[in-house]
Chain A
Amino acid sequence: MIRFENIGVRYGIGPEILSDVSFRLPRHSFHFLTGPSGAGKTTLLKLMFLSLRPTRGFVSVFGKEATKIRSQDRAAVRRRIGIVFQDFRLLDHLTIYENVALPLRVAGEDEARYRTNVIELLQWVGLGERLHALPPILSGGEKQRAAIARAVITKPELLLADEPTGNVDPDLAFRLLYLFLELNRLGTAVVLATHDHHLLNEAPHAGRLVLKDGSVSVLAS
């Protein structure tokens, strides 16, 4: 599903953030992406999401070489990927319900068909009573949950999550992990960047991508 060959990334004329990174992620796999702060976890996720071009090397997503994906086809590829960023990226003028439903709206689905699903998902992540709230009045944890709900609402083939449990309490963190594991069991490949060792221990069979000094070592599940 994802293939990296000798990937190098540098910003401007600085040193390489990632250097000779090579790995493959098969379909339906579950991987934690770990490493110290500043190791390049977010950069790696951006490469997988096609929002960053590597300085060198070969990236393939869903069997297509990233450099050969035309800009007008990139949106279709991205609709197969759910992504959760550290900074949530919610639209402040839309309610939580509208934010979570945004990927379905963008895909041209009829609201009558997805309304119940969106509300159920929001209920499950504990935002059932915040459907009408606007993001600026939510706590960090609530925003995080809304961002996760938005990423999984389309049941993507690949879910990329950057520190998705960083702003929630441990109980909810485990529930969110359980959500990711269930999504994975239903067929979604998951790459979850985290520092949280409790989460890593909770899913001992998951694979691990360990970033250190610009290179990645893959620990198989």
Chain B
Amino acid sequence: MKVLMRKFRNGKKRKSANFELLPLRKTAPIVPPHSIAGRALVVVLGIMCFLACLTVAAVTLVVESASDWQRGISREATIQLRPLSNAPIEAEMSKAITLARTTPGILSVRALSQSENEELMKGWFGSSLDLAELPIPRMIELQVDQRRPPDLEALAFELRMKVKGASLDDHRQWRDRLALMTGSVVAIGVLILVLVLVAATLSVIFSTRAAMAANRDIVDVLNLVGAEDKFIARSFQRRFLQLGLEGGVCGGVAALIAFPLTNFLIRVFFGAAGEAQLDVLIGGAGLTIASVIAIIVTVLAIALISSVTSRFTVRHYLREHS
């Protein structure tokens, strides 16, 4: 080009032979940022991301709480002794305790006192009834070694054979119900997440096609200067990655705020008791490290979906119009 310029200048007067290299602005993006209905898409992606983050974080909380519960109840088993008229209950209690203590894999054995038993029953019968007059079963709490678990079926069999009125509850029924509930919550969460992500993908597809139609002249010029489809797709993809990140971060931050806000609202409207109940049920509406990580991953997923979807949509559009 310099040779060409020298030849051009031959015999011609140049207006300014010594021009200065003026500072140039940072090269503008090929797809103008304001030519895409960016704000609307950011809002849509923000809402989608918010819903996805809420779902993912809520499912994470439930799964964590359920696994805590499961861990707790699988560490324990309970021997229950029904009072029988033909067998003194204290003697049967001693037999059951001895049997439990001699079983390998049982770490500790503790008989609940009469007052502890009554305290448990108050939850069902209330405090107005004199529980001393009722034939209340006695409980023995067993701590199980989870590394070397005992043969609970054999223990249950021995208890039935040797101790009158005794039965062993290994909490399996509870564990199974909890597993079923957790599985259902996860399945519903995954379904909601898939629906939200599909809606986000469709929004990006429509936005990209609208952007391509609105920027038809840019695409034409790029074709004119020999741009390959992948270059054009990359130009649009960059813009949509930016929009996806903006929407994702907005939704993610909103979700991060929503959880402590929920805690606050529960405290305001239901008092400390409501908060405590929520704590017992799912460990509270506070965020755990796992749910924060889940939210960050969801934000990145939304940005990635926006970017990749726009790339494929542009390539498809260019193939259609070539």
Note all chain B residues with C-beta closer than 8 A to A107.
226
Taking the closest CB of chain A, its distance from the CB of B242, in whole angstroms, is: 16
Q: Which of A90, A106, A128, A178 contacts B16 (CB 8 A)?
A: A128
A-B contact count (CB 8 A): 106
The interface of chain A, by Cβ under 8 A from chain B, is 51, 71-72, 74-81, 83, 85, 89-91, 93-95, 97-98, 102-103, 105-107, 111, 115-117, 119-121, 123-124, 126, 128, 131-132, 150, 153, 155, 175, 178-179, 182-183, 185-186
Query: Other CB < 8 Å A-B pairs besides A74-B322, A95-B25, A102-B30, 20 of them?
Result: A72-B228, A75-B229, A77-B226, A79-B225, A79-B226, A83-B224, A89-B220, A93-B35, A95-B24, A103-B225, A105-B27, A105-B30, A106-B231, A116-B21, A120-B1, A121-B5, A124-B5, A150-B225, A178-B8, A179-B4
Given that A93-B32, A105-B27, A153-B1 are known contacts, is A75 also in contact with B226, CB under 8 Å in the complex?
yes
Given contacts A95-B28, A106-B226, A179-B8, contact A128 B19 (CB under 8 A): yes
**Size band of the interface chain B makes with A:** 35 or more
Q: Which residues of B contact A89 (CB under 8 A)?
A: 217, 220-221, 224
Residues of B bordering A, CB below 8 Å = 1-5, 7-9, 12, 14-16, 19, 21-22, 24-25, 27-28, 30, 32, 35, 217-218, 220-229, 231, 319, 322
Are B226 and A78 in contact, with the CB atoms below 8 A? yes
CB-CB under 8 A for A93 and B28, given A72-B229, A120-B1, A123-B14: yes
Asked if B1 contacts A117 (CB within 8 A), the reply is yes
Closest 6 CB pairs of A and B: A79-B226, A78-B226, A93-B32, A103-B225, A75-B228, A106-B227
Chain A residues with Cβ below 8 Å from B30 are 91, 94, 102, 105
**Once the chains are docked, how many angstroms separate the CA of A26 from the CA of B181?**
79
Give the CA-CA distance A107 to B225 in the complex, in Å: 9
Q: Closest residue to B227 on the A side, CB-wise?
A: A106
